[in-house]
Structure 1
Amino acid sequence: MPHFSVVPGAAVSAILGEAHKDVLRIVAETYVAHEKGQSVNPDSYFLRFPEKPNARVIALPSYLGGDVDTIGIKWIASFPDNVRQGLPRASATLLLNDYATGYPLACLEAASISAARTAASAAVAAAQLLPPDGPVRVSFIGAGVIARTILDYLDAHGVRIADVLVHDLDATSAGHLTAHATERLGVPATGGSLPEALTRDLVVFATTAATPYVSGDTPLRPGQVVLNVSLRDLEPELLLKTNNVVDDVDHCLKAQTSPHLAEQLTGSRSFIDGTLGALLQGRVTLDPAKPTVFSPFGLGILDLAVGHHVLAEARRRGTAVDIPDFIGETTRW
C-alpha cells in the first residue's frame, strides 16, 4: 500500500529553484510522449462564478505512461483581482495517484509547478522557433509571475537575450520585471509601449486579457516569434497570416482562445501547422516568409510530469511530509 505525502510550497520552490534544466528536459520529453500517444489528457473543466466573471478554477486530469506511469489532477484557481491586493493571481494543488491501484500518493502545492511547466513550455518552443545564431530582442506584454518565470527559463535554456522591453498596464509590475531582468539576469531592460513591444524578435504575451485587443492588421515580420501564452490577446485575423504551432490542437481550439476564434472565423483548422511535440520530432514544416505564433493551452500531463519529479526529489531530501494514516482502510475485509 503506497503511503501518502504532502509537499508544501517551500519545499516545491526549493526544488524547482535548482531544477530548471531538469524541468526543460521533462517538458520536452512529455510533449514527445504525448505526440506518441503515451498519455491520457482529457478536456480541462472550468468552474466559473456568476458574481466573479473574471475568476475561474480549472481541473486538469491526466495520465502519463513511461517512467512516470502516474495519474494526476491539477486544481488551479485564477483570481485576477488578487493582484490589487498584492497577492498572486493563481494558486494550485496537484494530486497524484498510483496507476497500479488508483490510490492517492501525494498532494503538492502546485502554483510554482504550474508556472515552471508553463515557462519551460514557452522556452522549449522559443528555442525551436528562433534562429540559432545571435542574441534576440525580447518583449513581455504582461509582467506577472508567469512572465518572470518565462524569462528565467529562456535564460536557463540558453536563449541569448540582447535586451528586454516590458509593457504592462500596471507600472509597478512592469518595474518589477525590468528590475528582475537587469539585477538577476544581467540583461538590459526597459518599459515601453504596446506598439514597441510588438516589434521585437520574440514577443511574449502573459496577460489576463479575456478578449483580443491586438489588431489583425498588426505588421508582424517574417521570422518573428510570438509566444501566445495568455491565448486571448490576438485577433483571429492575425493568426491567419502566421505559422501556427499549438501544444494540442483539440485542447487549444476551445474556450474562445485566439486559435478557437480563428477556427470559428474560417470554419477550418487548416491554419494550424502542427504541434510542439511534432516540431520537436522534426515533423513540422514552417513557412520562413511568415512570423510564427506558438499557442499553448496548457496540458495537465506537464504538471503531472514535473510534479512526479518534485515528489521524488522531496522524498529524497526528506522535505515531503508523510501522512501515515491518510488512507483509512488498507484491507478489503
Structure 2
Amino acid sequence: MYPKIDFIYLSEPDMIEAGVLDAARCVNVCEETFSLLGKGDYLMGGANHNSHGMNIVFPKTSPFPNMPVAGPDRRFAAMPGYLGGRFDVCGNKWYGSNHANAEKGLPRSILTMMLNDKDTGAPLALMSANLLSAARTGAVPGVAAKHLANADAKTVSVVGCGPINKACFVAIMTQLKSVTKVVCFDLFQEKADEFAQWASETYQIEAVGVNEAEFGFRDADVITVAASRLKPLHFKDEWIKTGATILVSGPVNTEESFLTSAKIVYDHTALHEAYVEDAIGSGDKEAYYNGVIGGPFYRLIDAGKLPALTESTGLGDVVNDAKPGRVNKAERVIFIACGMSVFDISWGYELMQTARERGIGQQLNLWDKPSQA
C-alpha cells in the first residue's frame, strides 16, 4: 500500500525460472500484442507515439578524453512505451551496445527492463532483459510464420546463425509442424555447422550448414533473416521459390523485381511511418535509409513503386482479420520486423506476473515513506 513502494528484481537466472525461454508462450503473448497494436491500444515515444526509442550515438572524435567515440554497434538506447489490454502498464528497455564487448566475454548488448505503474510512475519490476529481448525478437517472426507461412512448409532456412536467429528459429518451429529440414547460412562456415548440429540434435531433422548466400535462400519454404547489421545481405529474386515466406529481422538488400512482386506485410505500419519521418528530419534521408531495415522499401514507396505505408498491411491487421495476409499457397510473402518496445513490455509483464505467483526474484524497497511528498 502507498506511500511505501516495493518492487521486484529479476536476475537472468530468475527470468529463466519464470519462463523467459518458453518460446510458444512468448509467441502467444506477442500475438496478443499485435492485436493491441492493430487496435491502437498502445503508446511509444515521440510526438507521433511511434518512435522506436532515443539513442546516444558517439562522435568519431572528441576533445574529451573520457568521452566514448564511435565504433561498430556502439550506442545507448532507451525504448519507452505503454501497452493497454490486460497489460495496462508502462515500461522502458534500456541498453548499451558495443561490438567490442566480445573481447571481454560479454554479449554485444547488455539490456535491462523496467516496468512502472501507469498512474503513479512507481517501479513494479526491474529485470535482466537480454533473454527477454531475444525471446520477443524471435517470437515476432513466430507470429508471422503462424499467419503468413504455408502450414505445410517443409524447409526452413536460417540466414545468420547468431543468438537472435536461434530465438527466431525456435519460435518458428513452435508454429510450423511439418518442417523436416533446416539450412543454416552464415558467412563463417563453422558457425553455420554449429547451428546445424544444434538444430539436428534438438529437433531431429535434417540440417546442413552453408556459407554461400544463394544456398541460404534458394528453394526454402520459410526464410528467417537476422544477419549482421555490419554486412547486410543481398539476395536475388530468382532464388526465392513460389510460395516462400521471408521473415526479415535484420537488414537485407534484394532486387526491385522481388519487392514489387511479393506480398509485403510490416510489423506495424505506423512504426515505419515514424522511421520515414525521422529520415526526413535527419536532413539526409538516403543515409538514414541505409541504416534501417525498412530502407529498401521506403525508397520504392518514395518512387511510387510500392503502396504508401498508410495503404499497406501490418501484422496486427492480419491477426485481427482486418486485412488479408497470405491469400494463396503460391504467393511469395515478405515480413518486415523492426522491433517495438511494447513487445518487451508485454513479455516482461507476463514474466513479472509469473515471478510474483511463484515467489521468484528479490523484493527491493524504494522507500517506506517519501521524504519529499
TM-score normalised according to structure 1 size: 0.90
The alignment's C-alpha RMSD in Å is 2.4
Q: Alpha carbons of 1:146 and 1:212: their partners in 2 closer, same or farther (altered >3 Å)?
A: closer
Q: Deviations over 1:213-240 (max 9, x none)?
A: 415645423311001111x212472422
Q: Contact 2:183–2:207 (CA<8 Å) still a contact in 1? A: yes
Cα separation, 2, equivalents of 1:271 and 1:79 = 35
1:47 aligns with 2:50: no
Counterpart of 2:19 in structure 1 is 16
Match of residue 306, structure 1, among 334, 341, 347: 347
How much does 1:153 deviate? 1.4
SS at match of 1:293: strand
How much does 1:291 deviate? 1.4
Give the counterpart letter for 2:313 in structure 1: G
Give the counterpart letter for 1:263 in structure 2: Y
Counterpart of 2:183 in structure 1 is 165
SS at match of 2:252: coil
SS at match of 1:313: helix
1:270 aligns with 2:307: yes
How much does 1:56 deviate? 2.7
Q: Contact 2:158–2:182 (CA<8 Å) still a contact in 1? A: yes
- 1:176-187 aligned at under 5 Å gives the runs 176-187=194-205
Q: Deviations over 1:46-86 (max 9, x none)?
A: 22223214323322110011211110011133333444665
How much does 1:147 deviate? 1.3
Size of the aligned set, in residue pairs, is 330
Q: Contact 1:61–1:300 (CA<8 Å) still a contact in 2? A: yes
SS at match of 1:3: strand
SS at match of 2:242: coil
Q: Which has the larger radius of gyration?
A: 2
Q: Alpha carbons of 1:135 and 1:202: their partners in 2 closer, same or farther (altered >3 Å)?
A: closer
SS at match of 2:192: helix
Match of residue 114, structure 1, among 95, 109, 133: 133
Counterpart of 1:148 in structure 2 is 166
How much does 1:211 deviate? 6.2
Among the aligned pairs, what percent are the same residue? 24
1:279 aligns with 2:288: no
Q: Contact 1:49–1:55 (CA<8 Å) still a contact in 2? A: yes
Cα separation, 2, equivalents of 1:215 and 1:147 = 18
Give the counterpart letter for 2:204 in structure 1: G
Which blocks of at least 5 consecutive residues in structure 2 are unaligned? 46-50, 60-69, 276-287
Match of residue 3, structure 1, among 6, 10, 24: 6
- 1:1-333 aligned at under 5 Å gives the runs 1=2, 2-16=5-19, 19-42=22-45, 43=51, 44-50=53-59, 51-83=70-102, 87-132=106-151, 134-192=152-210, 193-199=212-218, 200-210=220-230, 212-215=232-235, 217-230=237-250, 232-235=251-254, 237=256, 238-252=258-272, 254=275, 256=289, 257-267=292-302, 268=304, 270=307, 273-285=312-324, 286=326, 288=328, 290-324=331-365, 326-327=366-367, 329-330=369-370, 333=373
Q: Deviations over 1:153-173 (max 9, x none)?
A: 122234432111111112332
Q: Deviations over 1:83-140 (max 9, x none)?
A: 46654333210011101211112210011111111111111101211122x3420111
Q: Contact 2:155–2:222 (CA<8 Å) still a contact in 1? A: yes
Report which stretch shifted further, 64-73 or 279-288.
279-288
Cα separation, 2, equivalents of 1:206 and 1:36 = 28
Cα separation, 2, equivalents of 1:47 and 1:216 = 35
Give the counterpart letter for 1:148 in structure 2: K
Give the counterpart letter for 2:222 in structure 1: L
Give the counterpart letter for 2:347 in structure 1: V
Give the counterpart letter for 2:297 in structure 1: A
Q: Contact 2:197–2:207 (CA<8 Å) still a contact in 1? A: yes
Q: Alpha carbons of 1:280 and 1:18: their partners in 2 closer, same or farther (altered >3 Å)?
A: same
Q: Deviations over 1:242-281 (max 9, x none)?
A: 2111111232353523433332344156165401111112
Runs of 4+ in 1 over 6 A off after TM superposition: none
TM-score normalised according to structure 2 size: 0.81
Q: Contact 2:153–2:221 (CA<8 Å) still a contact in 1? A: no
